[in-house]
A and B are shown apart, each in its own frame.
Chain A
Amino acid sequence: MKTIRIGSGAGFGNDRINPSAVLLEKGNLDFLCLECLAERTIAIAQQLKNLNPNEGYNKYLVDRMQKILPLAYKNHVKVITNMGAANVGAAVRKVAELAKQEGITGIKIVGVEGDNVSDKLENYKDADVIEKDMKLKDIKGVIAANAYIGCQPIVEALNSGADIVITGRCSDPALFLGPLVYSFNWSMDDYDMIGKGTLVGHLMECSCQVSGGNFCIPGLKDVECLWNIGYPYADVSEDGTAYISKVEGTGGRVDVQTCTEQLMYEIHDPARYITPDCVADFSAVHFEEAGKDRVKVMGATGKKKTDTLKVSVGYKDGYMGTAGLSFGGPKCYERTVLAAETLERIIQRDYKLKEYKIDIIGYNSLFPRDYSIGFPNGAEPLELRLRVAAKSDNRETIELIANEVDTFTIGGPANCGGLERNVKELVSVLSILIPRDDIHISYVTEEV
Chain B
Amino acid sequence: MKLYELAHSRTGDKGDISDISVIAYDIKNYDLLKEKVTAEAVKEFFKDVVHGDVIRYEMPCVGALNFVMHEALGGGVTRSLNLDAHGKCLCSYLGEMEIDR
Nearest-neighbor residue (CB-CB) of B94 within chain A:
A367
Interface residues of B in 1-31 (CB under 8 A from A): 4, 8-10, 12-17, 19, 21, 23, 25
Known: A268-B17, A269-B57, A391-B81. A261 touches B8 (CB 8 A): yes
Does A203 have its Cβ within 8 Å of any Cβ on chain B? no
Complex CA gap A284/B17 in Å reads 24
Which of B14, B64, B76 is close to A260, meaning CB atoms less than 8 Å apart?
B64
Which of B9, B17, B62 is close to A286, meaning CB atoms less than 8 Å apart?
B62
List B contacts of A431 (CB < 8 A). Answer: 15
Complex CA gap A260/B76 in Å reads 25
Known: A265-B21, A266-B12, A428-B78. A287 touches B62 (CB 8 A): yes
Chain B nearest CB: distance from A312 CB in Å? 10
Complex CA gap A426/B77 in Å reads 11
Does A365 have its Cβ within 8 Å of any Cβ on chain B? yes
Nearest-neighbor residue (CB-CB) of A369 within chain B:
B48
Known: A214-B10, A285-B61. A264 touches B81 (CB 8 A): no
Q: Is the CB of B61 within 8 A of A284?
A: yes
Q: Please count the residue pairs between chain A and chain B whose beta carbons lie under 8 angstroms apart in the complex.
A: 113
Q: Is the CB of B83 within 8 A of A367?
A: no
Interface residues of A in 264-314 (CB under 8 A from B): 264-271, 282-287, 299
List B contacts of A260 (CB < 8 A). Answer: 21, 23, 62, 64
Does A257 have its Cβ within 8 Å of any Cβ on chain B? yes
Nearest-neighbor residue (CB-CB) of A355 within chain B:
B81
- Contact digits for B38-70, partner A, Cβ 8 Å, 1 yes 0 no: 000000000011000000010101101010100
Complex CA gap A39/B86 in Å reads 12
Known: A39-B77, A267-B66. A387 touches B83 (CB 8 A): yes
List B contacts of A428 (CB < 8 A). Answer: 76, 78-79
Known: A426-B78, A428-B76. A268 touches B83 (CB 8 A): no
* Additional A-B contacts beyond A266-B12, A389-B82 (5; CB < 8 A): A264-B10, A269-B68, A271-B57, A283-B59, A430-B15
The 9 closest A-B pairs by CB, nearest first: A266-B12, A264-B21, A357-B81, A389-B81, A368-B48, A428-B78, A261-B10, A286-B61, A365-B83
A-to-B contact residues, CB < 8 Å? 39-40, 130-131, 214-215, 217, 220-221, 256-257, 260-271, 282-287, 299, 317, 320, 355-357, 359, 361, 365-368, 387, 389-391, 426-431
